[in-house]
Homo-oligomer: A and B are copies of this chain.
């Protein structure tokens, strides 16, 4: 057994909604010799990565890059904003939205749930109403709910957040870098992501930004943060001047992230949003052409991941196994109560047009093998048709 690839496929297409494939430019950086965390080079790179993180989140706020999973970012948000006894409204419409309440409770917060059906977007009106019913310290929401492929209407959420003292905490792990997110313009207070999704870097880093409203809540806390490693006031000085020390930064990972962020800056954030939108529309057109029904509510589909219902009579595990073993194409199944009912295809970060077409082709062949009726090439054809106008614009 080698590390990294199956024996049959030296190159696999990793089309799950994260971790995603990363650019060869990023991979080359990761294989460079380790450098000192005290070197000028590392300090400059770290500061540039922090500046690009602000660009990514479209904010002048306070950026943090922490060694850990996106889950550490979620915990840092709650651990720093919420004090024991504080009320928090968890706005939930999927597997990841439902994780927030566990973290809030671990930190002594009092959770109220506002639940929407999985596959439906959250309704900003109901959020606004609930926020007026009690004195909430914060509310949590997903940008893209990775488990259902729904993109929640964040811009309206930001407008609502502006009218309250509650800190609006946004999990954009599967959004930022692939879909519009304008933290300052929209009025979102604390946004976070992981390195391994639409950013096109490997997993291992959490990125957070806090605006002044969120940061002042952290600074005015009465009780210390019941957490050492996720305490943003301990990390703060290092983010302003990496000559300081709090914990050894993962130097190579941060250089890799920087290269991924530079790729985003080179592409241009608006162009990147447009590309993800075009990919998403094209892939959905392909799914529709072969008769697969999109799972998320129409008009609320994420641009980073496509989610389709598994057709009647098809075993999704078998489908994914054929794609993986015969074509080297890796897609994801459903999580929690959607296990076996949906397939999820990530097309974000460094995914390309040819990756999309190849994945659609693999899906067609695998469905055919399982006895599903379709015209071979129909999905790819529809996908191409939708991509051509996008590709012909300069």
Contacts and interface: CB of A to CB of B under 8 A. Distances in A.
Contacts of A37: 19, 203
Q: Which of A21, A37, A71 has the most CB of B within 10 A?
A: A71
Contacts of A107: 226, 228
Given A204-B204, A226-B227, A249-B203, A16 B32 contact: no
Contacts of A253: 202-204, 250, 253
A250 B41 CA distance: 24
Interface string A246-274: 11111111010011000000000000000
Task: State the majority secondary structure of interface residues on A.
Answer: loop
Given A35-B5, A228-B106, A248 B70 contact: yes
A228 B31 contact: no
Nearest to A103: B228
A153 interface: no
A144 interface: no
B247 A34 contact: no
A144 to B, nearest CB: 15
Interface in A51-85: 67-72, 74-75, 78-79
Contacts of A69: 67, 229, 247-250
Interface stretch (A22-30, A123-131, A284-292, A362-370): A22-30
Nearest to A108: B226
Nearest to A71: B247
Contacts of A12: 33, 35
A6 interface: yes
A41 B31 CA distance: 21
A276 B35 CA distance: 22
Nearest to A34: B19
Nearest to A13: B33
A196 interface: yes
B38 A332 contact: yes
Interface of A: 1, 3-6, 11-12, 14, 16, 18-22, 27-39, 41, 44-45, 67-72, 74-75, 78-79, 102-103, 106-108, 194, 196, 202-204, 224-231, 245-253, 255, 258-259, 330, 332, 335
10 contacts: A19-B248, A21-B34, A27-B31, A67-B204, A68-B68, A71-B248, A72-B247, A75-B228, A106-B226, A203-B252
